[in-house]
Structure 1
Amino acid sequence: MKKIVLLLLVLTAPFCNYGQKKLSADYSYTVSEPYQVYDSPKKFYLSEKSEILSIKPWKKSVVVLKFDVNTLKLISTKEYEDFPDNYVVEGMKKLQDKYYLFYSSWSGRKTEHEQLFVREINFETGEFTAEATKLIDIDGRLTGPYIASIGFGGFAFGIGVTDKFDFLTSLDESKILVQYRRKPEVKNDKESYDIIGIEVYDKNLKKLWSREYTMPYTERRMDVEDFAVDSDGNGYLLAKVFHDDSNKDKKKRKDEEANYHMELFRLSQGSSEIEKTKIDLGDKFINGISLFESFEGYMICSGFYTNGLNNELHNADGLYTFKITREGKLIDEKSYEIPLEVLNQYVKNRTKKRNERKDEDGKAEFENMSLRDLVISEDGSLMLIGEQTFVVVHYTRNGTYVTYHYNDILVSKIDASGNLAWMKKIPKRQSGKPKMGEVYDTSKTYQGGMSYSYFNTNGNHYIVFLDNVKNIDLELDQIPALHSDGHGGYLTSYKINDGTGAMSKGSILDTREVTDKMEVYQFSNNRIVKTAENQFVLEVYKKSKEDVLIKVDIK
């Protein structure tokens, strides 16, 4: 889940006419000359002053490519082979005017030390500024999700542990919190207590404070939902705390109260104790929650909920927000129900009738809803973006396989006064599964070229994703045709006016015919970078071991 700060800055970039095409009057695009592909499971893209840095770590080296946005020409290529053999990239972070690449390295079974290193990147030169600096050295093992590779028969094979460290930055990008979790010594989660490490640094990566905390509840009784750090360097942890050792989120049909409650843990430099605040939403079951710092100095919690009478905890009846003072007091609690007319858009008639029957008992809900983005504006307004995501298991004579689904999007704006300004449903049907040899994080739902990207410019919000060409002229009472991941698609954009909520749709490009002789592949929303107030760039594969950049201008 991403937290996006909307500062309403105006960026400009000179207009380029070379090789432009357009499908919609609101968009045009330019394609670069092909250049050598450097494949990598993780790719990072940075943009500044009409230039792009692309950082591609793979095996024993890291490649840094620099591009000119105006001409889309490759300026420089730097390859670094001075990384350790067993290094694992943990993340890329921006702290005000500085860019850092973090990676971990395991010392081996003899010494068993987990180490975190960092290298700063000079954007202007497109180079690492110096050799790596060791940031953290931990005696013992850490936990983290496995990355998997798909082999013959569609089976996933674990090939290593990644993302052992999490990185959270403050709203003003002056502080960064590094979080890790020690591998439990006791395998029984009813008896084991998590040990979570917190280290807080300033923008120059000077350590401000660090401490390891033993959690107050067993692994069975507690799930970590989110972390945050404020501009003073205080850490925050949101936890779901269960009332017994039963099967966590599962509840009996007759239950009218959740089997858990939420707690906020405050972690500060001046105290070795965890300051806890219980979060009570009454009869609402929380489905997705996020914590972030506001411009007013409060910490804000927001997410989706289901009513206490419902049985499906992964569905959403509405959304909620509340503020937490620096002293841990809850204020300004608000909830917003999803209207029936929104639920009944782009669905089958039988689904509409079912929703209408459920609505009479207060049970109509948005199925399989997950919180994806939070957009925080300087004026105090907030926008939540949720997406339908679920997995389907298919049984065949030759065995089983799963498909991953990314469907409708719900975009909701809460104004500075705490009122619901508007709520929009965006129709989308996407389905796919990992391909042979493809590497992905097993702790997350497989994404591929599915889901969406978010941009804002000139008072409008843009939701961009690959769609089926059959959905170009979709009406409110029609169901979207399915887009199959990896089979072409139209890059589609929905524009929503921030003030009025008025929504329009446009098609940007056809991946099967970007130019008269070019089809592109390996589209991913993770390969898109915003380069100006009215512009973004995506990198795609064109085969023949070559990539291209596509620059999209928004009118």
Structure 2
Amino acid sequence: MKKVFFLFLLLGSCLQSVQAQSRSEGLSILWGNPQQESKRSTLADVIGHDESGFYALRLKVGAFYGINSKFSLEHYDNSMNKTRTVEVDLETDNKKRSLEQIVHYNNRLFIFTSLADQKSKQKKLFLQPISKTSLQPVGEPQQISSIDYTGYSKGNSGNFGFSVSSDSTKFLVFYNLPYDQGENERFGFHVLDWEMKQLWEKQIELPYQEELFEVDRYKVDNAGNIHLLGRLFNEKRKLKRKGEPNYKYQVLSYRDNGSSLTDYAVEIPGKFLNDMQIAILPNQDIICAGFFSPARTNSISGSYFLTIDAKTKQVKKQSFKDFDADFLTENMREGKAAATKEKIEKGKSVELYEFDLDDLVLREDGGAMLVGEQYFIRVMTTYSPNGGISSTKTQYHYNNIIVVNINPQGEIEWAHQIPKRQRTVNDGGFYSSYTMAVVQDKLYFIFNDHPKNLIAKQGQVYNMRLTGNDAIVVMVEMDSQGNQTRRPLFKASDASVIIRPKVCEQLTNQEVVIFGQRRRLQRFAKISLQSDSQSSSLK
């Protein structure tokens, strides 16, 4: 009991210290007014910001299995308070379009909507600018793309995706075309300029059968070229054997307005690359970075960083680093850490499981940072005495964060884990995961946590709390050397809401907007961060 009492005294002291010293510590939090909203309403996306504040998209889920869900576009001022809200009108000629995306692009708002016409078998994509004053679309919807799905069902009518170049001068509309099983998969591109005017378009057929290739990511570079990252399987995806690698990564680059295709096989003998992010350099060289393992597809034993020459297709630079004993045991209890190190000394393999690579952050000096998170789902089914299913629960696990630092020479300098445990049931991980902010050469991670983790011994990681005095929000600051500082930001009970890290967003170089909700109460806050670092900045 004394330990518990001391813990809350310490937590209260920490929180008061943050509030009282926020300016001197380079941190301040500005809360907007709490709003009463429908329990079926939540934030869908923070779209963008300008000098007047920021724009957000709200979703109100339909009462019957999500049918008739509605979207609203909202504006919030720099005090984090709502100034206006408008329901997104998706009706055109008595036909309801689907909302594809609302974007803030070069200081303007645009809405993309689609309509699948069963008579003509055409799925059309429309674009409209949105007035920032009224939050209403301006003019008539302009058709910019169409998918012909003649001979196919509405469920196989194709899907649209969107991407923006790193300098915000090119906008990509990407869509997959209907296909039959066994055929080569087909896609289409529209590349738009900074004013949303089309530069070029093209439909392409991948040089692989659908069962053998899976597109993971697509990018448009600053020159308007398209790059697809995908996995090429040795056999059909459905036939892959669990735990054994049966694919390799492939990058397909479409240049010269889509007229030229260059494919890059990304593989290193003796290493299985099981997760990857890519970036395109100004000279068109391709950066590939991620995690590798000796064999198993669902585990990782180290990280890698490659630079591929765009012309020769050869690997110009490569760096591999096995996760060492210190990294693998830095969040273990003393006994388990000793046993793990002994296992490593005997030459046995020690790997990490279920980690997803979330981000590749480039630095201005040519270096980079890799960020990943442990994420997995477990389905728990209980049976009645007569053998029937009595209940099924789905557990969502969002645990430790991994950060890997690569220097300007392309060498992996260090890797560290940020201890975190978030386990929930039947909620899709609604309040789990983290939001990340980049301020010069520092990374900031914000997430829901347990107060005991502020003073926990090595190897002790407590599951986050979402209710009562144990529910807190923390921020972990990581500098360029991998040193991390964990501190509380606020209690959920003091804010009256629980934050949803997945929809929080870094607005500017030093500002992060966070969103929280609890029952019908919802509100935003702005966290202002300042770094005293004089080192190179991250992009």
Q: Distance in 1 between matches of 2:466 and 2:489?
A: 18
Bigger shift: 377-386 or 77-86? Answer: 77-86
- 269, 293, 301: which is aligned to 1:317? 301
8 Å contact kept, 2:177–2:186: yes
Q: CA deviation at 1:382?
A: 0.7
Task: Tell me what 1:68 maps to.
Answer: 77
Q: Does 1:420 align with 2:404?
A: no
Q: CA deviation at 1:248?
A: 5.4
8 Å contact kept, 2:243–2:297: no
8 Å contact kept, 1:267–1:274: yes
Q: Does 1:118 align with 2:110?
A: no
Unaligned runs of 5+ in 2: 1-15, 61-67, 384-389, 531-539
- Helix, strand or coil at the partner of 2:343: helix
Q: CA deviation at 1:457?
A: 2.1
Cα deviation per residue 1:202-261 (whole Å; 9 max; x = unaligned)? 1222222222222222222222222122222111112221223475553677xxxx4333
8 Å contact kept, 2:231–2:250: yes
Q: Does 1:180 align with 2:175?
A: yes
What does 1:372-411 align with in structure 2 at a 5 Å threshold?
Answer: 372-397=358-383, 398-411=390-403
Task: Tell me what 1:219 maps to.
Answer: 210
8 Å contact kept, 2:164–2:172: yes
Cα deviation per residue 1:456-509 (whole Å; 9 max; x = unaligned)? 22542101111122212123x2221112567873111110112x3221111101
What does 1:160-171 align with in structure 2 at a 5 Å threshold?
Answer: 164-171=159-166
8 Å contact kept, 2:277–2:359: no
Cα deviation per residue 1:293-315 (whole Å; 9 max; x = unaligned)? 235543211111111xx4x3121
- 328, 331, 351: which is aligned to 1:346? 331
Q: Distance in 2 between matches of 1:89 and 1:168?
A: 16
8 Å contact kept, 2:399–2:419: yes
Q: Does 1:135 align with 2:122?
A: no
Size of the aligned set, in residue pairs, is 492
Q: Aligned in 2, Cα 1:372/1:271: closer, same or farther, shift over 3 Å?
A: closer
Task: Tell me what 1:149 maps to.
Answer: none
Q: Aligned in 2, Cα 1:282/1:340: closer, same or farther, shift over 3 Å?
A: same
Task: Tell me what 1:466 maps to.
Answer: 448
Q: Does 1:329 align with 2:326?
A: no
What does 1:256-295 align with in structure 2 at a 5 Å threshold?
Answer: 258-270=245-257, 272=259, 274-295=261-282
Q: Distance in 1 between matches of 2:465 and 2:84?
A: 36
8 Å contact kept, 1:542–1:548: no
- Which residue identity is paired with 2:490? L
Q: Distance in 2 between matches of 1:162 and 1:37?
A: 35
8 Å contact kept, 1:60–1:81: no
- Which residue identity is paired with 2:363? S
Structure with the higher fraction of residues in helix conformation: 2
Task: Tell me what 2:35 maps to.
Answer: 35
Q: Does 1:526 align with 2:502?
A: yes
Q: Distance in 1 between matches of 2:158 and 2:58?
A: 16
Task: Tell me what 2:479 maps to.
Answer: 497
Task: Tell me what 1:51 maps to.
Answer: 53
Taking structure 1 as the reference length, what is the TM-score of the superposition?
0.79
Q: Distance in 2 between matches of 1:223 and 1:356?
A: 40
Q: Aligned in 2, Cα 1:552/1:275: closer, same or farther, shift over 3 Å?
A: closer
- Helix, strand or coil at the partner of 2:506: strand
Q: CA deviation at 1:384?
A: 0.5
Q: Aligned in 2, Cα 1:93/1:217: closer, same or farther, shift over 3 Å?
A: same
Q: Distance in 2 between matches of 1:143 and 1:549?
A: 44
Task: Tell me what 2:221 maps to.
Answer: 230
Q: Aligned in 2, Cα 1:265/1:352: closer, same or farther, shift over 3 Å?
A: farther
Task: Tell me what 1:550 maps to.
Answer: 525
Q: Aligned in 2, Cα 1:44/1:535: closer, same or farther, shift over 3 Å?
A: closer
Q: Distance in 2 between matches of 1:249 and 1:305?
A: 18
8 Å contact kept, 2:434–2:502: no
- Which residue identity is paired with 2:141? A
8 Å contact kept, 1:454–1:463: yes
Cα deviation per residue 1:322-371 (whole Å; 9 max; x = unaligned)? 22333262321222222211111223434652464146436222221110
Q: Does 1:448 align with 2:423?
A: no
Q: Distance in 2 between matches of 1:207 and 1:20?
A: 53
8 Å contact kept, 1:382–1:414: yes
Q: Distance in 1 between matches of 2:356 and 2:266?
A: 20
Task: Tell me what 1:157 maps to.
Answer: none
8 Å contact kept, 1:511–1:520: yes
Task: Tell me what 1:97 maps to.
Answer: 107
Q: Distance in 2 between matches of 1:115 and 1:74?
A: 33
Q: CA deviation at 1:162?
A: 11
Q: Does 1:539 align with 2:515?
A: yes
Q: CA deviation at 1:176?
A: 1.8
Q: Aligned in 2, Cα 1:535/1:474: closer, same or farther, shift over 3 Å?
A: farther
Q: Aligned in 2, Cα 1:551/1:279: closer, same or farther, shift over 3 Å?
A: closer
Unaligned runs of 5+ in 1: 1-18, 147-159, 436-445
8 Å contact kept, 1:96–1:172: no
8 Å contact kept, 1:295–1:380: no
Q: Aligned in 2, Cα 1:60/1:387: closer, same or farther, shift over 3 Å?
A: closer
Task: Tell me what 1:198 maps to.
Answer: 189
- Helix, strand or coil at the partner of 1:277: strand
Identity %, equivalent residues = 21
Cα deviation per residue 1:371-395 (whole Å; 9 max; x = unaligned)? 0111122221211001111111212
- Helix, strand or coil at the partner of 1:357: helix
Q: CA deviation at 1:61?
A: 5.5
Name which structure has the greater RCO, CA cutoff 8 Å, separation 6+. Answer: 1
- Helix, strand or coil at the partner of 1:231: coil
- Which residue identity is paired with 1:417? Q
8 Å contact kept, 1:402–1:433: yes
Task: Tell me what 2:355 maps to.
Answer: 369
Q: Aligned in 2, Cα 1:318/1:221: closer, same or farther, shift over 3 Å?
A: same
Q: CA RMSD in A?
A: 3.3
8 Å contact kept, 2:467–2:492: no
Q: CA deviation at 1:452?
A: 0.6
8 Å contact kept, 2:394–2:426: no
Cα deviation per residue 1:63-112 (whole Å; 9 max; x = unaligned)? 3322221x3333333344354554333234444333433232222x3322
Q: CA deviation at 1:537?
A: 2.4
Q: Distance in 2 between matches of 1:118 and 1:351?
A: 56
Q: Aligned in 2, Cα 1:326/1:134: closer, same or farther, shift over 3 Å?
A: same
Q: Distance in 2 between matches of 1:81 and 1:124?
A: 16
Q: Aligned in 2, Cα 1:464/1:356: closer, same or farther, shift over 3 Å?
A: farther
